[in-house]
Every structure is written in C-alpha cells, then in structure tokens.
Structure 1
Amino acid sequence: MNGGRIFVACVGVCALLATAHAAAVYPIDDSDGFGRKFDGIGGISGGGATSKLLVNYPQPYRDQVLDFLFKPNFGASLQILKVEIGGDACSTDGSEASHMHNSWEENYQRGYEWWLMLEAKKRNPNIKLYGLPWAYPGWVGGPTRDNPWTDPERPVNYVLNWIRGAKTVYNLTIDYVGIWNERMYSIPYIKLLRRVLDKTGFSNVKIVGADKKWEIADDILQDEELGAAVENIGCHYPGTFSDTSAMKTGKQLWASEDYSTFNDNVGGGCWGRILNMNYVNGNMTATISWNAIASYYNPLPWFRTGLMTAVEPWSGNYAVESPIWITAHTTQFTEIGWTYLRHGAGVGNFTGGGSYVALISPNGKNLTIIIETLSHDHSICVRPPLEPYNVSTQRVTFQLKGSFISITSLRVWYSRLFNGAINDTGTMFERQQTLQVVNGMVQLDVAVDEVYTLTTVKGGKKGSYPRPPASQPFPNTYSDDFEGYTEHMEPYNLAQQTGSYEIIDVGPPHNKVVRQMVLSQPVHWCKAEGNTNRSISVIGNYNWTDVTVQIDARVGAVNGSSGYFVAARVDRGGGSSDKAEGIFLYIFPKTSTYLVSADFEHKHGITKGELPSSSSDWSNVVLTVRGENASGTYNNQKLFNVSIPATPNMGFVAIGTDSWGIVDYDNLMIKAEAVAHQRQKDNTLYFKPQK
C-alpha cells in the first residue's frame, strides 16, 4: 500500500455492490482475438540539436543520463530512438551537421547522432532506429535550393548514403526512415526510395510516411505502389485521434512525434495520458516523444520539453523528470512485438474517467495492463487543445477471461503525479503490494491523477544513482583552443543555430580550428531561416550582461564568407535567429571595413569604419560590452568605443559568418564581468573535451 491506496481482491459479484463507488466490470479477454501489434515507445534526438549539451557531459554523469533513457529495466527504457538526418540548417534549437555538406563529399564523423545511436544500442541491442530529415543541404534542393523533390534521385542518394554510412562505419542498422519532417512529401520520391533501398540491400529499412498529419493515407488508398512502399503512417501531434482514411489503409499508425510539453508533472500527465489514449482513441501503436532529452541552452525554444533534462556539462548536474517514470510504466513491462487486446476486451475508457490498455506477450505467457486517471488540468499537452473532461475516484474491477483465467496475481507499480500542490513532486514509479486474483477478478480503488501498471512480468526497477552535482551557471571565465578534439567533431558548448561548425586541422601555427562549413543556403526547415544567408553559433549564459569575448579568425581563401562577427547579449537563437538582437561586431576583411550592429541581420548599425592594415590572414578580434557602452579592438588596435542601446541588456556570446562560406576560428576566450538576476561564483573553465 502507499498513501492510503487500497487493493481489494474481489470474490463474487456481491463484492461489487459493497461500495458507493461501484463501477462496471472491465473484461480482459483474448478469446475473440487481439488488437494491433505494439510497435514501441520512443524519443527523438533532433529537430533540432536537442542533444547538443549531452555529448560532453563528464563521466560518470553522461553514462547515468544515457542509462535513464535507454537501459532496459532501469528508467524510461526507450524502445525507439528517432534521430535527425542533419541538414546544416536550423530545425528548432539549432542546426545539425550533414554527412554531405556538398554533393562531392561524404563524412560520417560529423555530428553526435551516430554517437547517441551507438550508446542506445550498447544499452539495448533491440532498440529500433529511425532517421528523418528536417532540412537538406542546398545542393539537394536543386537550382532553387528550396525543394528537394525537383530531382528525386538527389534526395534518394543522399538518404541512402546516410543509411549505408550508418551500417558500414558504425555497424548500425537503420530500421525506419521518414520523408521530410512536417513538410510536403513527394510520391515519386517515396516510390524511388523504396526501389533503391530494395536493390541496394536495405530492404529491411521501412518507410514511415509522412511525419506530418494523416494526409498521405488518401494517396495510399488510391495508389497501390505507394501503399506497398510505405510501411507505417506517422502523424505528428494527433491529439490521440487518427482518421477514417488512415484506418482504411490497414497500416500501423504511429504518433511519430508527440508530447513537446514542459517536463514538470503536468507534462508527465500529458505523456501518461497520450501513451494510453493514442491507442484507445486512435489505434496508434507507437508514440515518440519530442524530445528524448532536453539538452540545449535555456532559453532556446521549447526549453525543458524532453523526457528529462541535462543542460550543464560544465557542472554534471541533470534532472530525472516525471516523464521518465511515466514511460517506464509501459516500456519496462512490454516489448516491441507484444499485442494489444481488443477494444472492449482489454482496451477502453473507465466510466469515471481515465483509460486502460492491456497487452500480451507473443508467447501468451505475460499480461500487462496500464491504467491512467489523469485529470484534464494536470495532463494538458502544449498541442493540440484538450477538450474538457472529468475524472473521479472510482473502484475498478477487471475480469480475466480466456487464456488469462489461470493468472493468480498481478504485480503492481504505481505513480501519483499530484499529492496536493501544483509543484509537488508526487509519487513516482513505486512497487506496491502484489494484487491477488480471485475467481478471475481483481479490483482496486483508483484516485485522480494516478498511473498503474498491473503485470505478470517479474522485471521492473526504479533505477537510481547518487545525486548528481549541484547546478552551477556557465563559467564566467572560459577558453578553448580546440586542440583536444578529433577532427570533424562539432566543438562542445558552441551551439550552432544556423550553419555547421566543425573541427579542422589547418596545420601550424593554429593547428585545430573551428570552421564554418556551409557554402550555400540549405533547404531550410525553420521558416525564419529562409530570410537569412548567414550563420550563428551561441555559447554561454543567457544572463550575461557585461562581457568580453576574444577570438582569432580568418576568412577562407577559397569559398570564403564575406565576413564574420563576434557578438554579446544575443537574445535569441533557434528558428528566430534572424531576429536576434544584441551587439554584433562584423569584420569584412575583403573590404577592410567593420560594422557594429544592434542585430544579427545588421539592419540597425551603431558605428562603422575602416580596419587597420594587417600582414596576416589571421586576425585577433576583441569585443567588450559594459553597461550602455561597447568597445572593440582588431589586432590590438582600437576600433571603436560607442554608446549602445539599453536593450537587450543580457544574452549569449556568439560567433558567426556574414554570408555562407568558410571562416576559421581559434582561441576563443570569454570573460563575463556581470551577470543579471543571479550571483555567480568566480569560476574559470579551460575547456578540454570529454574522452
């Protein structure tokens, strides 16, 4: 028992009449067949750059976070990992590197999704891997660089190479691949992709269409070849309902992106409700959370909308949030390939509100029932709107029939998301007293905002580690010479928002540097990004006010950008980077000029002038912002000392390019002299990558 919860074995129908809360009997019965096959519960890394800060977490904390996500019978025990096929363009919280920046080259050392897939597979060899493009490099989009479908062979070869690279370089088998996240799909492309995958030895890779809503169902019903090419229909944020056309196809239906809700206990309630109701209402057999791990700077878009939070690699602090344990109620007691029971015989709604789903193992030896009684106000997802409904305390009675009649007891796991106050941590995933089954019937009292698992499975564990280190702000003194990285890695802590920044060894004296790699406009995903032709990467503490940033930089001799910048008080990133304000010092070596601007797009100039002459292609640039004043130097010579706007009065440090093209950076140094809204210790970090 826990907190007064009472579990009652029921003997005969008379016991049902002994309480004013008596309710209908809910059969659990496989006598007349089964429902749909269960395809798993998963999480998304991407869409984009949502795992950015996890990569360089210090050990042992990085492994602990990964265990909470992927280790079976420990935490969320995720059964599907969906990753972004990087396209060099912003896809929400940043941009992810492409394996083919240009049509003439391939590189499978870029980005961190390979690493994450390997870590997931290391913990759970049975986890399913799913790749999906959010953006594409510009060359895939053809002459207009905005439509990947003008020549289907280009995106087919691009995606095929990614799948092949996963296999040949990392021995990773990709199980599913999507089309283009939440954008128009191309029927000729889908058909060609299926034919090419089959011909090149990847017939095992299944196509999910189309990671938007249910629109593709109507096309599938009218096109036999398309229907044969698409394995599953994936819908984003379905609100727990599918549609008639999708059901008519006979395809497995997925909520291929869902949740995206702040991961407090209301977020946990959202997740718990849709995990059940996606099947109860919509016959969806997989639900995948955006995102799996909230590991990106605050306040980039959709902060803390992951199953857990890990945003401080400099301290090692992380937080295991309620959605981890709500996930465990399903994933620790089922596996992909289990089968739902039929609606009305193991799947349905309670008369007092809430829902239940029952699943059976392939060998018929194990049964799992997941119950949720989550109230409207404590289970609201960020989208779509949730219609009002009521849930009340009730007595639930299950009658086990068919092959389940021989079950004599069920193990019980229990969560209550709210014990009172809205900020209460609740009770998460606790083992309860085993529930006895008498004469095929089992009964329990359930209150509002609870989740139960009743199961014959002997597993189940609430994994734990010692408390991680205390939270600390980003160090106010920071430096990185980029020498400790493997070539082609993305530099840690620099969070690219547009473009792609990669470690390149250029030889003495600078050796390893950071290079912006994108040469032309990608096929963008974020709408705002289509309005800009420059790149930006942010770092640090959004609360920084007075700060000095110093860096060495040079424009590429071939395919070089028109210039580059350093910036402070940058007030936004993600898909709205084009609207970022702050203090930007632009350097234009080709014209020997500079510009100080109050915005990323340099539409609001503060001052400008000529650069001192330089005999080196490398230059040292320093920007200092204090109060309502900014100053800058170029190769130790003063450029300006000017008044600046009062707002924004805090934000990130950033580097970037004035146009697409190569710029190299080295020897980044930051000194924050004042921080808004918090007291910060005088801590210094000379950054060395985590091995």
Structure 2
Amino acid sequence: MIPSPGPARRYRGWSAVAALVLALSSALVAFPAPAQAATAITINGTSGGRVFDGVGAISGGGGNSRLLIDYPEPQRGQILDYLFKPGYGAAMQIMKVEIGGDTNSTSGAEPSHEHTRGAVNCDRGYEWWLMGEAKARNPGIKLVGLAWGAPGWIGNGNFWSSDSIDYLVAWLGCAASHGLTIDYLGGWNERGRDVTWYKNLRSALNSRGYANVKIVASDEFGWGSADDAQRDSGFANAVAVFGSHYVCGYRSAQTNCPSSTNAVNSGKALWASENGSDDYNAGANALARGINRDYIDGKMTAYINWPVLAAITPNVPWSTTGLAVAPQPWSGYYSIGKNAWVMAQTTQFTAPGWRYLDSASGYLGGNRGNGSYVSLKSPNNSDYSTVIETMDAGSAQDLTFTVTGGLSTGTVHVWSTNVRSSNPADHFVKRSDITPSNGTFSLTVQPGYVYSITTTTGQGKGTAAGSAQGSLALPYGDDFDGYQPGREAKYLMDHQGSFEVVTCGGGRSGRCVRQMSEQAPIFWTSGHAEPFALLGDLGWRNYTVSTDVMLEKSGYVQLVGRATNYNHEGPQNLNAYYLRVADNGAWSLRSNNTSGNQRTLASGTISALGTGRWHKLALTLNGSTLTAAIDGTTVGSVSDSAWVAGQIGYATGQGVTAQFDNLSITPLAGPAPTGEIRGAGSNRCLDVNGQSQSDGAVVQIWDCNGGANQKWTPTSSNQLTVYGNKCLDAPSAASGTRIQIWSCNGGTNQQWRINADGTITGVQSGLCLDVTGAATTNGAAVELWTCNGGSNQQWIRT
C-alpha cells in the first residue's frame, strides 16, 4: 500500500506495483533496445545561466543523525568520508542542520542550546560535531540552520516573536564558538511565515555582527514568499533565498519541478530546500530527475535532500531514508545507498559558484521521457560538466556534443551510475575517456542511468565497508559518569524532551541523566507527547531493566520496556510497557500502542517518593509476566502478551524535570524453540493462510492467536517448520517472491538464517523475509525483498 501523501507528513513503503516496475526495469538493463536518433547538444560557454549553490542534505527534522556520533572508529570516519569528503562519496556541498528545540520533529528530538531563558549551553547535541566533521573534510561546504520546534518559553509559545530572534542569534554565537560560520538561516520549518518577523531578523543580524548570514524564506510548500516580496520591499530586501519544499510533489517521481513566475523574476536565488523523504536506495530515480529538473523547470540552484542519513534504530519512523543507513553503532554496521552515488554524479563534478549554461540544459530530444541534462561551467571559464539522467528512457540514445564559447575542448572524462542495478559495482563507475575532434564528440547513453561528462579530474569512489550486523549484547549498563555535562549518553535517543548528562543532584556524586525540558515546547508535530528517550536493541526480549530515579518536582517518571514502533505524528503513541511512579507514591504498570490506546494493567500506592530523594525502579519482562519493583520491593505483577521484545527507555510527565542514574539491563532465560514469529513493525504473527496444511499455501501476517499455523520451529538444518512437516518455502530466489509452505525437502529455498538484527534471510536468495509494502494489517503478504533495515523486515521469535 502506498498512502496518500500530505504536506507535512512523510510515509515509507514499497508496493507490489513498485516491485513489478523494478523487475521490468532490470530487464531493460539486461537487454537494451537499439539507440534512438542522435540528439545534438551544444555546450556554449557564453550561454547565460544562474549561479549554482549546491546539492546537499539535512541533518535534522528529527534525530536522523543521532547514532552516528556513537559509532566506533574506523567506521564513523568512513561514514563521514562517504557523506562529505570530496572525491570519495556523496561529497555534499550544502548541509542544513536542525536548530534543536527539545521536541520531536519526525524521527526524534534534538536538544536546544537554551532550554530555559538565558541559560545558553553551546556544547549540547551532536550537530556542532557533525558540522565540524563536514567542514574538516570539505572546507567549502555551505551550512544552513533552521528551527523545527523550540522551547516553550519562547514568546510564551509564539515562535514569531522577538524571543525567537534572540534565540537564533544565540545559536549563531554557539556556532562561532565552535569555529563554524553559518552561511544561511531560516525561520520556522513548514509552519508559515511572518513577514515582519523576517524583517526584524534581518535587522538583528545586521546589528549583532551577522550581516553576512543570508536569510532563507520560508521553508514551506509553494512560493508564497516571492508573492509577499512583490508587495513588501522591506521583506524582499531582508531575504536572499526563496526556499520551497517538495517542489516536484511530495515523495513524487520528481518528473516535473516548476517554481513560479514571481519567484523566477524576483532576482533571488531559488532553492528546493527540502526534498526526498525516500529510501536510501529506492529514492535514487527520483533524486536523479529532481536535481536536474529543479533547475530546468524552475531555475532552482540548490537541491537539499531529507535527510542526510538514517542513523536511527529500525523502529523509528523513516529508518531507511537518506544517503545511507547506520542503525548499529555497537556492531559498526552501515550501508551506503544508491542515493549517495546519484548525488555524487553532480557534486563531484561541480561546486558552488559554478554557473549553469541554460542553452546546454534541457530534455533529451525535447522529450521528458527521454531524460534530462544540465551543463555548468567553472569560474575559470574553461572547465565544464554535463549531468545526464535517463531514468524513464525506453532505449539507448546517441548524443552528439559540440563545445564552443571558450570552454576546454580537451579530454572528456565520463562517469556513470546504473540506477536500475542493485549491484554496487555498477554505481559511480569511471568509463573510458573521450577525445573530442574539433570540439565535437559523441556518447551513447543507456536507459536508467546517470552520466557525468567533465573536463575536471579528482573524482573517486570510496572502498570502505561496514562490519556485519549484530545485536547489542546483554547485560548492558551505564552509570553515566564518563560523560561531560551537556552531552547525551551513549545510544540514548531523545524522542521528546531532552535527556542530557548533568552533575547529579539530591546529594549524589558523579553524573546522571536529567530530563531538561521544563514546560511544553513549541511543537513541530501536531502531537503533545511527553518527554521520552529510548535505548537498545529491538531483539531484547526477556530482561530486567532497573535504574535510580529522583523527581525534582511533583509529577511522575516512567521506566519503559519492550518499546518498538511509535507514530511520528504523535510520538507519545509508542508500542511499549511502562512502569509509572509519581511523587505521591501512586504507581502503575501500563501498556500503550501507536494509536495512543493506553491500558492500565496494574496499579497501587506506596509511601510517597517525594522530590529531591533517590529511589530505585525495576521492571522485569519475562515472557508474558510483567513485574514491577520499587526500592527493592515487588509492588505488582501481571500477565500481558501485547509486546514481546524491544528497547528500554526513560520518560517523564510533561515539564517534569527528573534525574536517572545507574541504568542496568539484565537478560533472563529465553523462550522455548517452538513459538510465534512476530513482525516488529506490525506486532502480528507469521501465519499460514486459512490454517491450510496444503503445499503452496501462502504465508501472511495475522493477529497472534496461538494457532498451530502460527507455531514455527527452527531446525538444525536451517529450516523453519510448521505443523511438524511443512517448511517455510520460497518458490524462487527473485525479489517479490511470495512465501508459502511446502513439504520439507532439504532445498536451499527452504533454508533460512535467523540473524541477530531480527531479520530472517533466505539461504538461496540472500533476501529478507518482508511484509509487502510495509503493511501492518491482517492478511498482508509476506515475500522476499532486498534487505533495507525496515521494521517490516524485523522479526521477533517468542
């Protein structure tokens, strides 16, 4: 199922139709049709065109970069090289970062530099570190700051206030303290605009030493800012860039990417300031079109993808979007996607300050279906590059180029990426050089490719690779004493509020984790989630999690167990169990889900915990038995089987500040070998349709009901059996193959690897057991699909 997109929402998922298109596309690669008639392109160095501002991506709009800083070396450096290093990988030319606001902004929350008025701390979070690493690799990268949410003290909840201007200026000061120069600054992401506020921001920047910082308005949908600028010269003078989101359509194929007449005629730079929201491999086709067509159709001179990478765990929304995935710092596993190599086909052959050549940019043969091309020249007025995409072409095409207008007629270097191929060896390949004759040369381009032809050198493709995937081992613990105040504890991911390391209170020495948000923030999402942070492995099943807690004010704290997915539109809607304890001694064991249906499983009252005093909480999850203990005394036990495995977490009531210390997760005995296999994304069981025992009966997901058709046994010969004599069976090794049962015969198509990261892969195919389209409903089909780290490919044995 592909959901209908909405303007401020992000969806993910593949459909059977997409699988068919991919299969047909692969066939086209293998058997290219004869070339069409030649298309003539003149690359004239005297052509007019706009100045190129760059191609890059966003770190933020959620905690999408959160786990990157926790990676060990050399893997962390390798990932950073693939993202930023020239001549190595994506070679990003622009990076937009979120100005953290202590609130969820899609896939997590980022900490604010000013939780409360006047208390500025410039060492919070990881964006300063990430910007520094980007600059170290590419000193020319342009940096952009933008707020999604903000602490609630700003304007008493009104972002468009003088408070927010002071807040942004303080953030610029923090950047300067880290040796970083911010090139561009925005307003409030996708939340409209206040023309007077932008004029006041320009005035404040000019008077406080930031006259060189350019303002981008207004990071929403459409080009209304350009219309406002026509009516208000003060606003026009304040703004340097008009930036619009998803200019080709939200999560579209990016075939048609217009701006507006007022925008084009405004005299301002136009940016596609957020695009993408697509899988790090599957989004490559759209990315290839969009980078070229944004300029051809709408004269946009920058393209910014959301996000830069998915350094988040698979239960978090958008866990495979960006240029790469990096979900396991504990194992060192990461994967670089096709998106990175498509981006490299522009970034490794251009630089901000180059100029587009309008007469050498357009559609092949004047037909969008054939593909597009853009040409740019270097400030030296000699070098040039042309980027060609043929995503929708049905056959090969012969192109003839003539170089004039003072541009170099020397050797032309050719690089290409076969976007229809899943083989990394086909991505970013150096091809044979071409020697023009009297400034003329030819090139045959195949369908489904991106080509870069250039007179420049220095391009390259990194060869580093991440480690194998693996689970985060138990027992696990952290006393938080090894961190500097203001930092985030290892692997602890904020999803609402801000949990950071502080000097312990309540008479305790050492370091603790404190929930810092003292009031409801200015939310970016529509939800009103309470602060929570998660840590750990989705495969953690039976364990005791314990921690010391101290409430600083009246309210409650929560210890979270078996946390899996949450709803990013309302991140308080989390699949998990909670042990909640209030200062008055009231306690409860609770279950919640992504629809926000919270159930109280057990409750009671003990002596008041009070505030400013330390206590110990423990939550034991053993099979279906949940047990709560406070200060070493068991206060309640209950049976519930809604959630079978998942992460641990800390949570508080809204605006409740509290401290946590001495986290401990201790494993318990595992389940029996025979049992259910639940989908992490759906919490539904792997199920034989209709309880059939016939060969060929298809497998699906269904509500767990204890039936024999949901009981699976792993064997020593790598089979998964049901009914005692039927095997989980893949009738072919192709992606999209529907899974069935069949009489066990020892074939490799009936052999499966149960992996530490929760995936189940076919021995014959190497592909993952996948719920089609990331569906979560009863009856959703189970198939083979390329492993992508999605929660629809994560399985939990119970």
TM-score (norm 2): 0.76
SS in 2 for 1:65: helix
| CA deviation string 1:399-458 (max 9, x = no partner) | 222223x50320111111224xxx554601111110121232221111111111100002
| CA deviation string 1:465-493 (max 9, x = no partner) | 2x322111222321111111111101121
Residue 245 in structure 1 maps to residue 262 in structure 2: yes
Q: 1:516 to 1:614 in 2, by over 3 A?
A: closer
| CA deviation string 1:473-524 (max 9, x = no partner) | 2223211111111111011211110000110012664410000000100000
Alpha-carbon contact 1:354-1:391 (below 8 Å) kept: no
- Identify the match of residue 592 of structure 2 among 580, 599, 602: 599
- Identify the match of residue 611 of structure 1 among 583, 606, 612: 606
> Structure 2 matches for 1:639-658, cutoff 5 A?
639-644=635-640, 646-658=641-653
Mapped to 2, the partners of 1:607 and 1:345 lie a distance apart of 70
Aligned-pair distance for 1:335?
A: 0.9
Q: Which residue of 1 aligns with 2:617?
A: 621
Alpha-carbon contact 2:582-2:609 (below 8 Å) kept: no
Gaps of 5+ in 2: 1-27, 249-256, 672-676, 679-753, 758-798
Q: Which residue of 2 aligns with 1:442?
A: 441
Residue 23 in structure 1 maps to residue 18 in structure 2: no
Residue 393 in structure 1 maps to residue 405 in structure 2: no
Q: Which residue of 2 aligns with 1:554?
A: 550
Q: Which residue of 2 aligns with 1:9?
A: none
SS in 1 for 2:644: coil
Q: Which residue of 1 aligns with 2:334?
A: 318
Alpha-carbon contact 1:586-1:658 (below 8 Å) kept: no
Alpha-carbon contact 1:25-1:396 (below 8 Å) kept: yes
Residue 166 in structure 1 maps to residue 175 in structure 2: yes
> Structure 2 matches for 1:221-620, cutoff 5 A?
221-239=230-248, 240-264=257-281, 266-342=282-358, 344-350=359-365, 351=367, 353-375=370-392, 391-404=394-407, 407-419=409-421, 423-425=422-424, 427-465=426-464, 467-506=465-504, 509-528=508-527, 530=528, 532=529, 534-556=530-552, 560-573=553-566, 574-589=568-583, 591-599=584-592, 603-612=598-607, 617-620=613-616
Aligned-pair distance for 1:634?
A: 0.7
Mapped to 2, the partners of 1:93 and 1:155 lie a distance apart of 23
Aligned-pair distance for 1:339?
A: 0.1
Aligned-pair distance for 1:276?
A: 1.2
| CA deviation string 1:221-244 (max 9, x = no partner) | 111110011101111111122122
Alpha-carbon contact 2:307-2:322 (below 8 Å) kept: yes
| CA deviation string 1:321-364 (max 9, x = no partner) | 1112111111111110000001x434444446111110000110
Aligned-pair distance for 1:24?
A: 2.9
Mapped to 1, the partners of 2:362 and 2:175 lie a distance apart of 38
Amino acid at match of 2:171: W
Aligned-pair distance for 1:201?
A: 1.3
Alpha-carbon contact 1:58-1:313 (below 8 Å) kept: yes
TM-score (norm 1): 0.87
Aligned-pair distance for 1:268?
A: 1.8
Alpha-carbon contact 2:472-2:537 (below 8 Å) kept: yes
Gaps of 5+ in 1: 6-18, 376-389, 682-691
Mapped to 1, the partners of 2:310 and 2:458 lie a distance apart of 28
Amino acid at match of 1:163: L
Aligned-pair distance for 1:256?
A: 0.7
| CA deviation string 1:550-601 (max 9, x = no partner) | 1111101xxx250101121223334432222321110112x11101111287
| CA deviation string 1:71-129 (max 9, x = no partner) | 11211111111100001110011111111111131111111111111111111111111
Mapped to 2, the partners of 1:451 and 1:253 lie a distance apart of 24
Q: Which residue of 1 aligns with 2:70?
A: 56
Q: CA RMSD in A?
A: 2.2
Q: Which residue of 1 aligns with 2:790?
A: none
Q: Which residue of 1 aligns with 2:159?
A: 148
Mapped to 2, the partners of 1:553 and 1:499 lie a distance apart of 17
Q: 1:664 to 1:357 in 2, by over 3 A?
A: same
Residue 119 in structure 1 maps to residue 105 in structure 2: no
| CA deviation string 1:355-374 (max 9, x = no partner) | 11100001102110111111
Mapped to 2, the partners of 1:408 and 1:99 lie a distance apart of 52
Aligned-pair distance for 1:154?
A: 0.8
Alpha-carbon contact 2:602-2:637 (below 8 Å) kept: no
| CA deviation string 1:275-309 (max 9, x = no partner) | 11111222110001111121011121111101111
Q: Which residue of 1 aligns with 2:50?
A: 36
Q: 1:553 to 1:602 in 2, by over 3 A?
A: farther
Mapped to 2, the partners of 1:553 and 1:111 lie a distance apart of 23
Mapped to 2, the partners of 1:20 and 1:172 lie a distance apart of 50
SS in 1 for 2:36: coil
Q: 1:273 to 1:482 in 2, by over 3 A?
A: same
SS in 1 for 2:226: helix
Mapped to 1, the partners of 2:247 and 2:89 lie a distance apart of 26
Mapped to 2, the partners of 1:578 and 1:561 lie a distance apart of 20
Q: 1:245 to 1:88 in 2, by over 3 A?
A: same
| CA deviation string 1:593-642 (max 9, x = no partner) | 10111128784211111125779811111101222221111111011111
| CA deviation string 1:15-63 (max 9, x = no partner) | xxxx8622331221133x3211000011111111111000111111111
Amino acid at match of 2:564: D
Q: 1:29 to 1:391 in 2, by over 3 A?
A: farther
Residue 73 in structure 1 maps to residue 87 in structure 2: yes
SS in 2 for 1:454: strand
SS in 2 for 1:576: coil
Mapped to 1, the partners of 2:137 and 2:438 lie a distance apart of 41
Mapped to 2, the partners of 1:672 and 1:395 lie a distance apart of 63
Asked which structure has the greater RCO (Cα within 8 Å, sep 6+), the reply is 1
* More moved, 482-491 vs 599-608: 599-608
| CA deviation string 1:128-165 (max 9, x = no partner) | 110000001101141xx2x312xx21111010110122
SS in 2 for 1:76: coil
Alpha-carbon contact 2:410-2:455 (below 8 Å) kept: no
Residue 99 in structure 1 maps to residue 100 in structure 2: no
Mapped to 2, the partners of 1:475 and 1:80 lie a distance apart of 37
Mapped to 2, the partners of 1:614 and 1:270 lie a distance apart of 55
Amino acid at match of 1:635: D
Q: Which residue of 2 aligns with 1:665?
A: 660
